[in-house]
Amino acid sequence: MISYYDEFLTALHDDSPSTTILGVSLAGHEDFEVSNPLSLQEQIENKIRIVDTIVSSAPFSSFTEDRPRLVVMGHSVGAYMALQVLQKRPHNVDRIFLLFPTLSHISQGSNLGRFSSVVTSFPGGAEVAALFVFIMRFLLPIPLLALFVRFAHAVPGPHLSTTLAKFFNPASVQSFVHLAKYEFKEIRDLDADTLTKYAKRVTAYYALNDRWVPKFAREQVMRIINQNGGESFICNEGLPHAFSLGPTYCCAR
Instruction: Give the pLDDT band of residue 228 (cuts 50, 70, 90).
Output: very high
pLDDT in tens, 57-93: 877 777 767 778 899 999 999 999 999 999 999 999 9
- Distance from the first to the final alpha carbon of the chain: 21
pTM: 0.84
Share of the chain above pLDDT 90, in %: 45
pLDDT in tens, 146-177: 556 555 555 555 555 556 555 667 777 888 88
Cβ density class 79-92: b for 16+ within 10 Å, e for less: bbbbbbbbbebeeb
What pLDDT sits at residue 170?
74
What pLDDT sits at residue 207?
92
Quick one: average pLDDT of 4-33? 84
pLDDT at 205 over 90: yes
What pLDDT sits at residue 157?
52
pLDDT at 32 over 60: no
pLDDT at 101 over 60: yes
Q: Decide which of 101 and 115 is more confident.
A: 101
The answer to whether the beta carbons of residues 104 and 218 sit under 8 Å apart is no
pLDDT at 238 over 60: yes
Spatial separation of the C-alpha atoms in residues 185 and 181, rounded to whole Å:
6
DSSP state of 90: T
pLDDT at 31 over 60: no
pLDDT at 242 over 60: yes
Cβ density class 21-38: b for 16+ within 10 Å, e for less: eeebbbbbbbeeeeeebb
Rounded mean pLDDT of the chain? 84
The C-alpha angle 45, 22, 61, rounded to 5 degrees, equals 75
Instruction: Give the pLDDT band of residue 189 (cuts 50, 70, 90).
Output: very high
Beta bridge partners of 234: 206
Q: Decide which of 52 and 33 is more confident.
A: 52
Domains and CATH numbers, the chain: 2-252 (3.40.50.1820)
Quick one: average pLDDT of 111-125? 84
Share of the chain above pLDDT 70, in %: 82
What pLDDT sits at residue 120?
87
Pairing of β 202-206 and β 71-75: unpaired
